[in-house]
């Protein structure tokens, strides 16, 4: 990390980014291996662009939502914790095809950090022992629940272990992975996100062109702490899915934007759109104000 420009570091910067995807995103993939690979691309996009929340709204089969959630959640777990934290699950049969996430909490050593995710493997009233993926275990002087995943800061190395303390990963300056939530419908999702003060953007080829909405979008990003972009599915756009649920998407979407002017193909896959949209949003968020 010596001499590395601060602009290259994966720090948490506001507004915090979130995305919302429909369960139908895997509806046209019948091969489990390819389904897994598709969801893996979404997880990678989320990590690359420091997405903190992924919302899955059910628009077809609840089993599709469970599949997407299980794969995304598995991908987010650091490799050294997967065997201890992840139970056998038929949805993860082809987890081996998933791309490595290599986010900061997966490879903290690559960023020179003494912070690691771990799992509590033993505890009493005085101290807890944490597996942190190193040759030696970490000891925390507080009573924790065995099997619980925690984030700890390693403060001292001893001959037989490390001394650490539990820290709140929400308070970290570094991007530390994403959470996955499932909503029963797009209506429920819109209502709950609005109640949580998310500013909601919808991505759609029927929206206004990004260059027309850019100034309004930058203003929204300056005003808020968290913003979520909602994507449609392989067959229906966001407004169409909402309409089938008796909802007017315009009531919740502050802006509906076409992020790909003059797209050169008949349709853009959702996982492709996620990369494109997040790239633009990340650019707007990180661009110095002039």
Domain count, the chain: 2
The answer to the question of residue 255 being in a domain is yes
pLDDT value of residue 7: 66
pLDDT value of residue 2: 45
Are residue 167 and residue 181 in the same domain, yes or no? no
pLDDT digits (tens, 9 = 90+) for 171-215: 999 999 999 999 999 999 999 999 999 999 999 999 999 999 999
The answer to the question of residue 214 being in a domain is yes
CB-CB contact of 95 with 35 (8 Å):
no
pLDDT value of residue 210: 97
Task: Decide if pLDDT at 4 tops 70.
Answer: no
The answer to the question of residue 276 being in a domain is yes
CA dihedral 174, 109, 271, 84 (to 10 degrees): -100
Q: What is the CATH number of the domain that holds 146?
A: 2.40.50.140
Kindly list the strands in the beta sheet with 179-183, ordered across the sheet, starting from the edge strand earlier in the chain.
179-183, 51-57, 16-22, 226-230, 199-209, 255-258
Burial class of residue 145 in the structure, from the number of CB atoms within 10 Å of its CB (0-12 exposed, 13-18 middle, 19+ buried): exposed
CB-CB contact of 49 with 279 (8 Å):
yes
CB-CB contact of 25 with 271 (8 Å):
yes
pLDDT value of residue 95: 96
Q: What is the CATH number of the domain that holds 46?
A: 3.40.1280.10
pLDDT digits (tens, 9 = 90+) for 17-33: 999 999 999 999 889 99
Beta strands 199-209; 149-157: pairing state: unpaired
Are residue 134 and residue 261 in the same domain, yes or no? no
Enclosing H/E stretch for 217: helix 210-223
The answer to the question of residue 78 being in a domain is yes
Q: What angle do CA 266, 271, 277 make, to 5 degrees?
A: 85
The answer to the question of residue 93 being in a domain is yes
Are residue 185 and residue 127 in the same domain, yes or no? no
pLDDT value of residue 5: 61
| Mean pLDDT for all residues in the chain | 94
Residue 165 belongs to domain spanning = 112-171
Task: Decide if pLDDT at 11 tops 60.
Answer: yes
pLDDT value of residue 9: 85
Q: What is the mean pLDDT of residues 278-282?
A: 97
pTM for this structure?
0.94
Q: Which of 127, 152, 171 is the last residue of a domain?
A: 171
The answer to the question of residue 187 being in a domain is yes
Instruction: For residues 208 and 255, give the distance between their C-alpha atoms in angstroms, rounded to a whole number.
Output: 8
**36 band by pLDDT with thresholds 50, 70 and 90:** very high
Q: What is the mean pLDDT of residues 135-145?
A: 95
């Amino acid at each position: 990390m010596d001499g590395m420009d601060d602009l290259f570091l994966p720090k948490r910067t506001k507004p915090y980014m979130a995305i919302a995807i429909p369960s139908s995103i895997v509806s046209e993939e019948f091969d489990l291996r390819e389904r897994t690979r598709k969801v893996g691309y979404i997880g990678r996009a989320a990590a690359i662009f420091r997405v903190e929340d992924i919302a899955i709204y059910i628009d077809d089969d609840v089993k599709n939502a469970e599949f997407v959630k299980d794969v995304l959640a598995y991908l987010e777990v650091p490799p050294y914790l997967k065997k201890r934290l992840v139970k056998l699950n038929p949805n993860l049969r082809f987890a081996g095809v998933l791309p490595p996430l290599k986010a900061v909490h997966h490879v903290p050593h690559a960023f020179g950090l003494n912070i690691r995710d771990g799992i509590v493997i033993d505890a009493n009233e005085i101290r807890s022992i944490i597996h942190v993926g190193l040759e030696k275990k970490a000891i925390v002087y507080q009573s924790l629940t065995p099997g619980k995943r925690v984030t700890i800061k390693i403060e001292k190395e001893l001959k037989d272990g490390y001394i650490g303390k539990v820290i709140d990963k929400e308070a970290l300056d570094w991007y530390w992975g994403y959470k996955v939530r499932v909503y029963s419908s797009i209506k429920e999702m819109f209502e709950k996100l609005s109640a949580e003060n998310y500013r909601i953007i919808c991505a759609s080829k029927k929206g206004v062109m990004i260059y027309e909405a850019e100034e309004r979008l930058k203003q929204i990003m300056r005003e808020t702490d968290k913003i979520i972009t909602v994507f449609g599915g392989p067959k229906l756009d966001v407004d169409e899915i909402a309409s089938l649920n008796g909802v007017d998407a315009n009531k919740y979407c502050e802006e509906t934007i076409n992020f790909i002017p003059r797209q050169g193909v008949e349709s853009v896959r959702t996982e492709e759109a996620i990369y494109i949209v997040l790239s633009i949003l990340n650019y707007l968020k990180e661009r110095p104000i002039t």
